[in-house]
Amino acid sequence: MSYTLSHLKYLEAESIQIIREVMAEFERPVMLYSIGKDSSVMIRLAQKAFYPGKIPFPLLHVDTTFKFKEMVSFRDQFCRDIGAKLLVHTNTKAIENNISPFSVGTQKCCAFLKTQALVDSLRQGQFDAAFGGARRDEEKSRAKERIFSFRDEKGQWDPKNQRPELWNLYNAKVNKGESIRVFPLSNWTELDVWQYIYRENIPIVPMYFAKMREMVVRDNMLIPLDGDIPLRPGEKPKEVMCRFRTLGCYPCTGAIRSTATTLPEIIQEMMTIRISERSTRIIDHDQEGSMETKKREGYF
Amino acid sequence: MNAPIPSFLEEDAGKTLLRFSTAGSVDDGKSTLIGRLLLDSKNIYEDHIASVRKASTHSDDQESLDLFLFTDGLKAEREQGITIDVAYRYFSTPHRKFIIADTPGHEQYTRNMATGASTANLSIVLIDARKGVLPQSKRHAFIASLLRVPHLIVAVNKMDLVGYDEAVFNRIRKEFSDFAARLSVPDLRFIPISALQGGNVVEQSDKMAWYKGESLLTMLENVHVAGDSNFIDFRFPVQWVNRPTMDFRGYSGTIASGVVRKGDEVMVLPSMRTSRVKSIVTWDGEVNEAFVPMAVTILLEDEIDISRGDMLIHKHNQPQVSRSFEAMVVWMDEAALDPEKFYYLKQAGRTTKAQVEKVHYRVDVNTLHRLPGMPLQMNEIGRLRFSVHQPLFFDAYAKNRSTGNFVLIDALTNRTVAAGMMIDREPQDKMATDVASLAKLLRSRLRPEKGVTAAERAARLGQKGVTVWITGRPGSCKSEVAYALERKLFEAGALPFVLSGGDIRAGLSIDLDYSNLDRLEHLRRVAELAGLLNRSGVLTIGAFISPTQEMRNLVREIIGPDRYVEIALDAPLDWCKQNDKSGIYAKAEKGEVRNVPGVDFPFEVSTTAASVIKIAETGVEQAVATILSLLRQKGIFPCQKH
């Protein structure tokens, strides 16, 4: 027997260690569930960490009400299948006040329906640790984020004041009201995630696979017709062979032209693709360093 | 789907992983090198290239993209033009996956370098070919060696700016190798590169045909790391007890080192109870064997009370179990170490209260010299002794990178303030005081005088063989008094001899510097020599600053209290500064020298001297007269001559 782990097995072992450490050190952990592929992988790792037991903490979905219908139905089915406890939180006050990307723009909408909703739900649930599926390769400001990332009582991140993190010794000490965001997938890349989904046969939302979809082509982006996207003059939806590389809210998530209908095809596409993952997310492009600004305020 | 793709996937999923850290300042071209590795191995997306092009000072020119912009992440840093924290980068080639811990090289970021090195299999130290080996290059290598990174690559960058000159490369290699001989680096390699032009980074450079080795990327792809883990000593810190149902009780954790098999006899620490491994459970099924760094759940045949922080081991291969230990520590917090305070110490799944008992020394990371104790400040490294409330199960970090490390957490602020690497119980380097007490023991076993006796020698020479030990600050006229005394004694018919610091340092103590420990060792040697001279009958005069009582006590012990006459020259610091002929105070003020007694090193005025002379008031001549009359009084010189 050769005592070598493949890179995926190594990453898996590292993530399991992180997830167990949280369970051992914190009183009320919760796992953020975004319904996306990274969340699916994170949940599989949590299942592995506690096997043969079930995941011993709840999953939390922050629902902006602008999620794709396919995502919501997948979410409910998936959580039933794995026997997980699902919490859904929506900033109902903001919805009542008609906050939407169309009314206040994408940045403000995100601040109310995602960031504030998240911070509120963590506080209401008195969660002292919250897992997120973010990866360091996603975006520049994430490259410096710790695996155990400290947040003050307002949920804010201070990039200048991060705790040193050495070996696999994570500092889990917090005062009441403060919390830790934990990123077990920190060292995974997008390609690792796809390979793992393929090898482990992990269920994902069908929107990741290519098919003919009704789309609006706007500024080089493919915008889906889910919900009531207002059309600009002259715009006409057309059938495009495409798939979603990341899943967010429908007004802010573009698709990519693709013919990848299976996991191996997606992986092959990943290996040759020349555009980064988050380029289909409208919010990241809003302003230079916008992810960092949002993270400072409490975004995941 | 056609068949070839899944097999291709199979191959890709079986890649190994290499984690490496890079250290170097912006000027060394570190960020440019990483940008080059990412760009040339086609791991940067087009939209990222576009945004870097937007920010580059030269737009529209593919060749002169500011490569470092790919890695300088946060907005604040981009404005300052520096990288201020550890950033992690990812790329892969058909052979391997890589995780880069990209750490800045400024002096104040020792802690970031240590962080990056803690998880690295390999470190790359970047050296600017034009500047050669700088203190910070040495610092990087020292930290990599302190954190026991097994492989070190020295990349001599900017070869294009020195005309790809082999001689420049060889000179740097020689200088760095000489330095690295003092470190523990099992695998040291050198490579000449040009990150900006791409030479020897991914492709071999035709401009450096004299270099016969691999390109940097090929080196990274081929370096063998599987053997670096410890597969010998089985250590399994229990991370979490898994009890989903009444009839399942498993111990979950990550194997810190070694291998465990189903059926193995294991011992539980701290209870020392033994049992056998019933099964090793994972989601993917039971396994017969598990090894570092797998995350598994172990079931035992017997019901034993085991909780988080306990450790499973093989009975005949046990770690150290102790409430006190020594460690090399990197201090990482703005608040200095406070020996009065207790800290939380987290190690191998245990968290316990800890207190620093002693700071043995600090290390000057630029010179590797040892500096005297004092609380550790941010980015300082030192050797400390700890005591902890609960026993820890550990191995020396040098033997086991997983069970020999810990972090310290401030109990009040909850910040991670330090990282430590544990050391074997027995101090490897004997200190001067230990050597002195060993010498005392050995001497006590010697038979008394065999040859001519001390009394016979004194009778022949008309003097007793003693040492007049003159102590005082720099600039307190010790040498003047010593030589004037020697002259007067000689003229009066005695046989005196002055031992001068300069003479001893030029030979006997040539390997020592001015740290606390080395000063002690230097004085130990001087005292041994003075003692031998005394036994030969010579009236020895020593003029040494010997700034602390500890040092003077050591000297008296070695020479023997009956042969030791201590003279303290006491003068105000300002007077000594004015009187200073060596210029040492001026140098200390400019920061050119450190550890100057009375300035940045303690000077304790003697409390045990046979005579304290206020030299500023008496002058040299009067001081000599005082010493002469003391020697007469004590019957040292003159004494009865036969």
Nearest CA in chain A to B148: A167
B16 vs A contacts (CB less than 8 Å): 4-7
Question: Is the CB of B75 less than 8 angstroms away from the CB of A288?
Answer: yes
Is the pLDDT score of B73 beyond 90?
no
Q: Cα–Cα distance between B413 and B427 in angstroms, integer?
A: 33
Confidence (pLDDT) at B75: 47
**Is B642's pLDDT higher than 80?**
no
Nearest to A3 among B92, B231, B282 (CB): B231
**SS3 for B463?**
coil
Residues of chain B contacting A164 with CB distance shorter than 8 Å = 111-112, 115, 332, 407, 416, 419
Question: How many CB atoms are closer than 10 A to CB B631?
Answer: 23
pLDDT at B410 over 90: yes
Q: Which residue of B has its CA nearest to A2?
A: B226
pLDDT at B25: 64
Share of chain A above pLDDT 70, in %: 90
CA distance B76 to B405: 33
B506-542 burial, b if ≥16 CB within 10 A, otherwise e?
eeebeebbbbbbbbbbbbbbbbbbbbebbbebbbbbb
- CB of A250 closer than 8 Å to CB of A207: no
Alpha-carbon distance of B602 to B593, in angstroms, equals: 15
Please name the residue that has the structure tokens 């740097």. Answer: B172
pLDDT number for residue A140: 73
Asked if the bond preceding A101 is cis, omega within 30° of 0, the reply is no
Question: By percentage, how much of chain B surpasses pLDDT 70?
Answer: 86
pTM: 0.75
Measured CA angle at B482 (ends B476, B487), to 5 deg: 140
Chain B residue numbers touching A136 (CB-CB < 8 A): 88, 90
Q: What is the pLDDT of residues B592-633, one digit of tens each?
A: 777 788 887 778 888 889 999 999 999 999 999 999 999 999
- pLDDT category, B81, cuts 50, 70, 90? very low
Q: What is the mean pLDDT of residues B76-102?
A: 75
Residue linked to tokens 């059926």: B263
Point out the least confidently predicted range of A77-86, A108-117, A182-191, A278-287. Answer: A278-287
Residues with Cβ < 8 Å from B506, sequence gap 6 or more? none
Q: Per-residue pLDDT for A285 more than 60?
A: no
- A141 contacts in chain B (CB < 8 Å): 73-75
Mean pLDDT value across chain B: 86
Q: What is the pLDDT of residue B3?
A: 42
Candidate from A13, A144, A192 with C-beta closest to B294: A13
Taking alpha carbons only, the member of A267, A166, A158 closest to residue B149 is A166
Q: How confident is the model at residue B249 (pLDDT cuts 50, 70, 90)?
A: very high
Partner residue opposite B405 with nearest CB, options A11, A167, A288: A167
Give residue B63's pLDDT. Answer: 47
CB contacts < 8 A (A, B): 180
What letter represents residue B259's amino acid?
V
* Model confidence pLDDT, tens digit, residues A65-116: 888 889 999 999 999 999 999 999 999 888 888 888 888 888 888 888 888 9
Distance of residue A24 Cα from the nearest chain B Cα, in angstroms:
6
Torsion angle, CA of B285/B289/B294/B297, rounded to 10 degrees?
A: 60
Calculate the alpha carbon distances from B134 to A235, B106, B130, B146, B366 in Å. Answer: 62, 12, 11, 19, 9
Is residue B343 a contact partner of residue B409, using CB atoms and an 8 Å limit? yes
User: 3-state SS string over chain A?
Assistant: CCCCCCHHHHHHHHHHHHHHHHHHHCCCEEEECCCCHHHHHHHHHHHHHHCCCCCCCCEEEECCCCECHHHHHHHHHHHHHHCCCEEEECCHHHHHCCCCHHHHCHHHHHHHHHHHHHHHHHHHCCCCEEECCCCCCCCHHHHHCCCEEEECCCCCCCHHHCCCCECCECCCCCCCCCEEEECCCCCCCHHHHHHHHHHHCCCCCHHHCCEEEEEEEECCEEEECCCCCCCCCCCCCEEEEEECCCCCEHHHECEEECCCCCHHHHHHHHHHCCCCHHHHECHHHCCCCHHHHHHHHCCC
Q: To probe the interface with A, which of B110, B414, B417, B422 has the most A CB atoms within 10 Å?
A: B414
Residue A170 in tokens: 């994570």
Best mutation target among B78, B99, B395 (most A Cβ atoms within 10 Å) is B99
Q: pLDDT band for position B43 (50/70/90)?
A: low
Determine contact, residues B77/B84, Cβ cutoff 8 Å. Answer: yes
d(C-alpha B176, C-alpha B188), whole Å: 10
B463-507 per-position pLDDT tens digit: 999 999 999 999 999 999 999 999 999 999 999 999 988 889 888
Note the Cα A200 to chain centre separation in Å.
Answer: 19
Residue of chain A with shortest Cα separation from B48: A276
Summarize pLDDT for B353-364 with one digit per residue, the tens. 999 988 889 988
Which of B71, B75, B244 is closest, CB to CB, to A292? B75
Amino acid making up residue A299: Y
DSSP string computed for B496-529 = EEEEEHHHHHTTTTTT--SSHHHHHHHHHHHHHH
Say which of A264, A267, A276 has its CB closest to residue B47.
A276
Per-residue pLDDT reduced to its tens digit, B194-216: 988 889 998 888 899 999 999 99
Residue of A23, A18, A129, A170 lying closest to B416 (CA atoms): A170
d(CA B481, CA B623): 7
Smallest Cβ–Cβ distance between A275 and the set B1, B46, B254 belongs to: B46
List residues bridging with A223 in a β-sheet: A216
CA distance to B171, B328, B377, per residue, from B362 (Å):
31, 9, 10
Predicted confidence band of residue B314 (pLDDT cuts 50, 70, 90): very high
C-alpha–C-alpha distance, residues B53 and B213, integer Å:
33
B431 pLDDT more than 50: yes
CA distance A219 to A228: 19
Report how far Cα B131 is from the mean position of its chain's Cα atoms.
Answer: 25
Task: Name every residue whose Cβ is closer than 8 Å to that of residue A142 and which is 6 or more positions away in sequence.
Answer: A134, A135, A136, A291, A295
Check CB contact under 8 Å for A174 and B414.
yes
In terms of DSSP bridges, do strands B381-394 and B405-410 run parallel, antiparallel, or are they unpaired?
Answer: unpaired
Confidence at A270, pLDDT banded by 50, 70, 90: confident
Tokens of B535: 């036994």
pLDDT at B74 over 70: no
pLDDT reading at B8 higher than 70:
no
User: With an 8 Å Cβ cutoff, are A276 and B45 in contact?
Assistant: yes
Torsion angle defined by CA atoms of residues A159, A160, A161 and A163, in that order, rounded to the nearest 10 degrees:
70
**Which three-class secondary structure state does DSSP give residue B468?**
strand
* A223/A273 Cα distance (integer angstroms): 20
- Of the candidates B566, B569, B578, B552, the one whose C-alpha atom is nearest the C-alpha of residue B617 is B569
Smallest CA–CA distance, residue A179 to chain B, in Å, is 12
Cβ of B118 and A14 within 8 Å?
no
- SS3 for B559? helix
- Beta carbons within 8 Å of B290's beta carbon, 6+ residues apart: B255, B259, B260, B280, B296
Residue-wise pLDDT tens digits, B92-118: 888 899 999 988 766 557 888 899 999
Question: CB B14 to CB A6 under 8 A?
Answer: yes
Per-residue confidence band for B217, with pLDDT thresholds at 50, 70 and 90:
very high
- What is the H or E stretch that residue B480 is in? helix B478-491
A140/B16 Cβ within 8 A: no
- The shortest C-alpha distance from A92 to chain B (Å) reads 34
How many CA atoms lie within 13 Å of B642's alpha carbon, on the beta-carbon side?
A: 6
Q: Is A220 left (phi over 0), alpha (psi -120 to 50) or beta?
A: left
Task: Provide CB contacts within 8 A for B12, sequence distance 6+.
Answer: A195, B94
The predicted pLDDT at position A246 comes to: 87
3-state secondary structure B303-341: CCCCCCCCEEEECCECCEEEEEEEEEEEECCCCCCCCCC
The CA R_g of chain B, rounded to the nearest whole Å, is 32
b or e along A226-248 (b: 16 or more beta carbons within 10 Å of the residue's beta carbon)? beebeeeeeeeeeebebbbbbbb
CB contact under 8 A, B5 and A264: yes
Flag whether pLDDT at A277 surpasses 50: yes
Task: Find the residue in A nearest to B43 (Cα).
Answer: A274
Task: Give pLDDT tens digits for B131-141.
Answer: 999 888 888 89
Beta strands B467-472 and B539-543 are parallel
- By C-alpha distance, the chain A residue nearest B6 is A264
Residue-wise pLDDT for A132-173, tens only, equals: 999 998 877 788 889 999 998 888 888 777 899 999 999 999
Q: Which of B545, B561, B544, B553 is nearest to B466 (CA)?
A: B561
Using CA atoms in the order A225, A227, A228, A232, what is the torsion angle rounded to 10 degrees? -30
Q: B76 pLDDT exceeds 50?
A: no
| C-alpha dihedral (A182, A188, A194, A195), degrees to nearest 10 | -130
Closest to B147 measured CA to CA, from B47, B208, B247, B228: B228
State the pLDDT at residue B9: 67
A135, A169, A275: which to substitute to probe chain B, counting the most B Cβ within 10 Å? Answer: A169
Q: How confident is the model at residue B581 (pLDDT cuts 50, 70, 90)?
A: confident
Residue A265 CA, distance from chain mean position: 22
Which position has the token pair 């007694």? B597
> Is the backbone peptide bond immediately before B293 cis, with ω within 30 degrees of 0?
yes
ipTM of predicted complex: 0.91
> Beta strand B467-472 with A86-89: parallel, antiparallel or unpaired?
unpaired
Shortest distance between the Cα of B260 and any Cα of chain A, in A, equals 12
Q: How far is B556 from chain A (nearest CA, A)?
A: 46
- Mutation choice for B interface testing from A1, A4, A7 by most B CBs within 10 A: A7
Amino acid at A218: R
Instruction: Return the H-helix or E-strand segment holding B356.
Output: strand B350-363
Which residue from A24, A166, A276 is facing B239, i.e. has the nearest CB?
A24
Distance from CA of B90 to the nearest CA of A (A): 7
Look at A195 and B9 and tell me if their CB atoms are within 8 Å: yes
pLDDT at site B392 = 93
DSSP B287: B
